Structure 1
Amino acid sequence: MDFGKRSKNFTEREKSLLIEVAKEFVCIIDNKKTDGTSVEAKKRAWAALTNKYNAVSETGCRTEKQLHALYDNLKKKARKNMSDDKSEMYKTGGGTFCLKTTAIDEKIVALLTPQFKPLVNEFDSSAPYYNLDMLDAVSETPRKKGCLTEIKKKNINSLSASIIKRKKEKQSNEDCITKKKLEILELQKQQEVLKLEKTKNILELDIELKRVLLESAQLDLEFKRKTLNL
């Protein structure tokens, strides 16, 4: 065996063939369980997949290790390209940008759709980003010069509607906060008025009391004068 010799690169045809053959075994080889039974089932599935691949391949035989590595690399590349395209589409709002997703990536995504589409959560502030259907957008977009020139209108409309909705909700929240502040200020004003009224009443009573005391003192003084004159 020549350990220094590097195996030839996989062609696009070989990659497509691997994906096609993997359809039969995807439920096993992509099982996330790591118990002994699952691991053994994966080994048997990869062995069977390799045999089937080599039986129909027209470009030469490949080892199980080579096919396994290619399969993992295809998934990583598809995930990265889809993420990059979605990010660019979100940033441009549906404008023109260079498309990275390839036909092979589309096949991988179609094969492993649940792994590439997160659960929908419309209450998440990032929902417009995650709800963009890149698989549909890419599959229906012309690949002329590798650039995306038109995005599905429903995705753009959905994004715009979501932004408008969030702006309205923000404005509504601000209006509600302003209303509450005004109500608090009005309540504080009423409390101040009541406090002033109370202070006024106390002062008036105090003045009246002092006036009565003064009159009483004057009468007492007058009485004493008359007594002295007698």
Structure 2
Amino acid sequence: MSFPVERLPSSSKGDEIASLMRFEIISGRLKKGDVVSENSLAKTYHASRSPAREALRILQAEGLLRLERLGAVVVGLTEKDMEEINDVRFLIESFVMKECAKNANDSLYAYLRYTLENMRISAINNDFVEFSIQDITFHEAIIEASNHKRILHVWKGIKNIVVTALLIATEKRMMERDQIDNLIKKHSDIIDAMKDGDAQKIEDALKIHFVDTRKTVFESIFTNQSMTE
């Protein structure tokens, strides 16, 4: 499996290279300490040095590598890194869900139900890429509906790593249909809690979902990384 750049919104060549490299790093194919250069990236991805340089800067900003005089050194993604990303996600998503619940936005709930239906269709078709895209769309729709500029900025800073980790984990989940059905139900429970407007129910529903997702992501990523060492 490689990162499905063709299934995501149009982006620059630098973004595409960054997406492919990010997947290589998080999946463990590129290991901590590996060195890559602009020239090697340009050759591998059939690009000029400019987008290769852009990709390296993007990944440095995400903390996945560091730029040195002789090239870019892979830093990788540790379990602590992923824990911190999960903490940030829970903090911002629990907040925006509670804020959106106060406004009783029927159009938002209708859109969230629509994404759930797309997730079900993707599961039937065993399309883990589309399932992952719809999963992210669900969460991002709530964040955007909060109309909170600073939270949206924080989300964009971690989104690419979250998407990549989710793709790896969802491919594994697709092997067990019960897990997928359970995941869809947890998203439905979040909608129900938001419609009830009960802050504690929202937090509980999100926490249950995150605990389950954390388990699958950690098993998929860090078990896979250890196998490639």
TM-score (structure 1 length as normaliser):
0.28
Larger Rg: 1
